[in-house]
Structure 1
Amino acid sequence: MRSIRKSVVSVLGWAAFTACDTPGVTLIEPDQSSVPDSVKFVVSLADSALAAALGWSDGVPNAEIFLHRATEQFRFTELHTDETGTVGTTDLIPGLYRVAALRTLTVDEAAAVGSVVRAFGNGFKTNIGRSGTVSIELRSDQPGSLVFSELHAVSQLSIGPYQWHQFFELYNNGDTTVYLDGMYWGRAFHLYRDYPPYPCSATEAWRNDSLGVWAIFFHQFPGSGTDYPVVPGQVVVVALDAVDHSVVSPVFPNLSQADFELSGTADVDNPDVPNMPAVGLRAWFRDHGLDIHAGQIYFLSLPLDLATLPRARPEFSGEDWIRFPREALLDVVWTSARGVSPDQLALPCDVAVYPLLDGLEGGFAPQWNDSTIALHRRILRAGPNGPVLQDLNTSFVDLVTGMRSPGRIEY
């Protein structure tokens, strides 16, 4: 055995030696460069006057940058910019990335801009190679109105026997009373993965529409104009089914005191809770009302006459969709799916909704067997009427995962 082993080594050595003189064979020295491939990130503020007031004209210092490779489930890279708003890294694997940045003012910094703690952020998807520069322009937090404050969703794999405990919250993030009467809540255009039947090139015009969001499934709040006021700092809970779900399992919430419930064709009805009828162009495939799913885009719209809104039929759909105008949209939120689902077998399109409505999906929805957590909008600062929630139109930095808390603002 020993002689055979020696012979093999000798042959390999001879082959390596003679390869130097073999026609057509060139040996390449290993890369000995002392400078590795590097990707640089540059963060600036979109509002140049505000940047000057803060001393950030050269860039945003101490900004948090979050990187998530689209084909990975949990691995995030977090970076922080230097005093010039720049940071570099040599650790990235090339690919499609979710890129987001966030900068919140300190109390001392806020003194230069009206003594109000503010936040700046943005996010998008982009392909990152082994080198190059990625620029991130941060937009300012939005003045308040009604916003989504919590979503207790089921993941797209949740097809178990009981999942009617879903709910979402609205919160008056402003300083004036708002009336819910006649408003619409629904799911925006949802085909944003590169499937052969409807590739990204075909769905681009429907996803990335600067004029608004296209929808086919939506509900409407009841009321004749001033029946359902929401005062500043008030929370409104909308349940899929407004019943005590804890009687089924103690891990489910008691939603019998919800403010509204979604109507379905065969669900239980709480006579003490006002119903939100389904008024979309097609009935949802299950009979409890529109599900609150992970990995979807939801919107809240002012009252409108549906008959006056544009309708169109995508060639890949075979059904009419209706467009809610951008100026009527009070809030848009884009939730991220967790875990591998059938909808994730194709890569996502770069844009799922017009970026100024929501730049990047955020939060991780609960797994199918975790009914205790929800997605929450971050608390930015204390206000005269209660917490002021962060609203950067970028769910990636606006939403966090925490224990569900229907009717309460806790995060």
Structure 2
Amino acid sequence: MKKYLYLVITAMLFAACKKNNTTDIEPVNLNISVAYNLQTSTYKLPLTSVKVKITNLDTKNMQEFTVSDKGTVIVPKLSPGAYDIDASATILAADYTTITGIATTKDVTYNASVKGKQITVGFSDVINLSLVSGTVNDWVIKQIYYAGSDTKNGAIQRDQFIEFYNNSDKVLYADSLYFVETTGLITKSSATSYNLQTNGQLDWSKSVNMPANIDANNDYIYARAFLMIPGTGKQYPVQPGKSIVVAQTAVNHKSPFTGTDGKVVSVLDPSLTVDLSTADFEAYYASFLSNPFASDIDNPSVPNLEVISYFGRDMVFDNPGRYSYALIKVDGTQKPKEWPQYYYPTKAAPTSTATKYYQIPNKWVIDAVEIQPNEISDRIPKKYNANLDAGFAFVPLGSYTSQSVIRKTDKSVNGRIILKDTNNSTEDFDYFTIATPRGFK
């Protein structure tokens, strides 16, 4: 009898513990509040135009919700976990003009995002999303091939390129179009060496000699590499719906070629790499380096970029995807080569040999694409705020996989492809399994 009673009590205790443990996975009702960040209160934009997407980072499951006219969303029975939360709205040009009285011929996009948010059991905070505006740009970054190809059978990193696209209905000129590789905190392990913002990214306001009367973190980006397409002003026209390819080295990487050391450079599997012999521009660093890569040969039929600042021995993009990219276009009042440069905001005083980085005003950025590593655990705090890029793009297989990120096609008008541009790379970009210069997705 005692044995039977013991078994009954044990079973009851086990059942009670099991019941109590279910609280560990009890879903929560997530409350989200959305508002437009407007410079004036004289008009109101429609909140019901806003879409909110919730993506579970583990399962990749995505849910989409429409915001109420009060700017609220309730996500019911959300499982605890890590989530990306993105809000976006596109106001058509005609509607925006009617509502605001501000004449525009371009659609206006608004974005906000919270990345990697941990939703725990019992989470009751309200997620506040402040939508900031951006416009559909004439020039956009179309494709970034930063991953490189296989280290044994491919071209490693020497076949990298970036592609810019005329997304407008008029001829644009590539002359004096700048682009930068944006730097910031790129490894979590080094975070303790720097002054950081509350979001975990570098606090550039703590850089040596940084002016106190500017918003160093929100109004500027900082360039590891700063390059410019040359030209006299109208030397390099780009037709509507056409692009320009900027190669690290403008050769056919599928075929053997002779390096500057006289040795043949070749790949074992040509299908893993790309032909860049018809690129529009190339980076050529050998003329000012003491130890350039032997593979950095100068294709005389392809114009060279003007190098304002650089990192390393060639235009080598970071294979894991820890840096980001921006297009810059200035007017005649600006002299970008004279823009100020600053040290990283290290806690210790910078050494005399420490590198300085160009400070780029956001107002001259016409397009920006945040890149992140493919593994969630390797991702770093965003360098761009939502008015530049509310999301980020990545290649799913990571380094040396021949993959590139590619902007999605939005629509076609009279045969001209218009690429998606919402200032949220999470929404705007897909990937190519094999990078494809001038290709479309």
Could you tell me the TM-score, scaled by structure 2's length? 0.70
Partner of 1:147: 140
2:380 to 348, 354, 358: 348
Secondary structure of the 2:185 match is: coil
> Are the counterparts in 2 of residues 238 and 260 from structure 1 also a CA contact under 8 Å?
yes
Aligned length: 375
Q: CA deviation at 1:295?
A: 3.4
Gaps of 5+ in 2: 206-215, 256-266, 286-291
Cα distance in 1 for residues equivalent to 2:183 and 2:395? 20
Q: CA deviation at 1:361?
A: 1.4
> Are the counterparts in 2 of residues 121 and 397 from structure 1 also a CA contact under 8 Å?
no
Structure 1 residues 17 and 213, CA gap change in structure 2 (3 angstroms): closer
AA partner of residue 75 (structure 2): G
AA partner of residue 272 (structure 1): S
Secondary structure of the 1:213 match is: strand
- 1:299 matched to 2:326? The reply is yes
Cα distance in 1 for residues equivalent to 2:167 and 2:391? 21
Partner of 1:24: none
Partner of 1:289: 315
1:323 to 331, 347, 359: 359
Structure 1 residues 243 and 250, CA gap change in structure 2 (3 angstroms): same
Secondary structure of the 1:336 match is: coil
Secondary structure of the 2:85 match is: strand
AA partner of residue 123 (structure 1): S
Cα distance in 2 for residues equivalent to 1:402 and 1:172? 20
- 1:256 matched to 2:277? The reply is yes
Structure 1 residues 121 and 210, CA gap change in structure 2 (3 angstroms): closer
Structure 1 residues 377 and 120, CA gap change in structure 2 (3 angstroms): farther
Which moves more between the two structures, 289-298 or 38-47?
38-47
Structure 1 residues 302 and 103, CA gap change in structure 2 (3 angstroms): closer
Over aligned residue pairs, what C-alpha RMSD do you find?
4.2
Partner of 2:405: 375
AA partner of residue 136 (structure 2): P
- 1:271 matched to 2:300? The reply is yes
> Are the counterparts in 2 of residues 184 and 219 from structure 1 also a CA contact under 8 Å?
yes
Partner of 2:427: 397
> Are the counterparts in 1 of residues 50 and 87 from structure 2 also a CA contact under 8 Å?
no
> Are the counterparts in 1 of residues 181 and 323 from structure 2 also a CA contact under 8 Å?
yes
Q: CA deviation at 1:178?
A: 3.1
Cα distance in 2 for residues equivalent to 1:179 and 1:310? 27
Q: CA deviation at 1:260?
A: 1.0
Q: What CA deviation, in whole Å up to 9, does each residue of 1:380-400 have, x standing for no partner?
A: 333468222222222111212
> Are the counterparts in 2 of residues 338 and 365 from structure 1 also a CA contact under 8 Å?
yes
Cα distance in 2 for residues equivalent to 1:170 and 1:369? 22
Q: What CA deviation, in whole Å up to 9, does each residue of 1:17-47 have, x standing for no partner?
A: 99xxxxxxxx9984999x9531133556667
> Are the counterparts in 2 of residues 187 and 215 from structure 1 also a CA contact under 8 Å?
yes
Could you tell me the TM-score, scaled by structure 1's length? 0.74
> Are the counterparts in 1 of residues 183 and 324 from structure 2 also a CA contact under 8 Å?
yes
Partner of 2:28: 37
Secondary structure of the 1:201 match is: coil
Partner of 1:201: 196
